Structure 1
């Protein structure tokens, strides 16, 4: 994401004067600690009665992530950084959603077959990060491209 600036930090800390944020971010070392949010079968994206979208989600691995952040903060202090500030990003800051369309052989437990074809709509293929069981906390773009090529080779050619 690059260097954090005062404008970005102000969204999380709107009451801190901009000149203080400028001074802090101008002398900061920015780190992102990413951990995997392991899948839970009960997590769902639902359509509300008013047509809006609701997220029914219980994060997994939160305790391990907090331990990772504490360890990283200790390392930064030992490296000579006296002030370590942390901020946890929520689900709204996620750029690589994975596991939203479970793939598998059993239509009762998955929505896609192993080639990303819908079990119920036979001319529908979903080739994005949704077929991954989880994210592995890295950018999934190259794996999505590889799966798209694999799916394209397997898909029937339409007239």
Structure 2
């Protein structure tokens, strides 16, 4: 029996969701690909045990968050701007909203951003988010509260509209 049996199927089935999480955490498509690739390499090393005993998706999400936090500790900070760059192309309102929300997310602390991504985009429960971050449920609630307050200050009205859209 191949020690990586099932790993390929796991990656094919969950790659888009994991890539979306990586992108929302790091904010750059190329870096998100690098982040996911490095995490999947680690998951592959532990695959036999994960596939037997654990929840590989939860482990992979936790590894994504940990790797993201590790990378951003030593990486240069993202530079946010109050307005999108002028390109001569007209944007519809939904595109501008997404750009502004991504920029507002970039202003959060690493843990706040991770909590928002896991809770509202990955649709994890508070307990699952706490497990993924290795913290208490109370910490998740506190980080969520502070992150939403910060997002509301950075992008008034936009946050509520997006959170309602995600909740549907």
Is this a same-fold pair by TM over 0.5?
no
Name whichever structure is richer in helix by fraction. Answer: 2
Q: Which has the larger radius of gyration?
A: 1
Return the TM-score normalized by structure 1: 0.27
Return the TM-score normalized by structure 2: 0.27
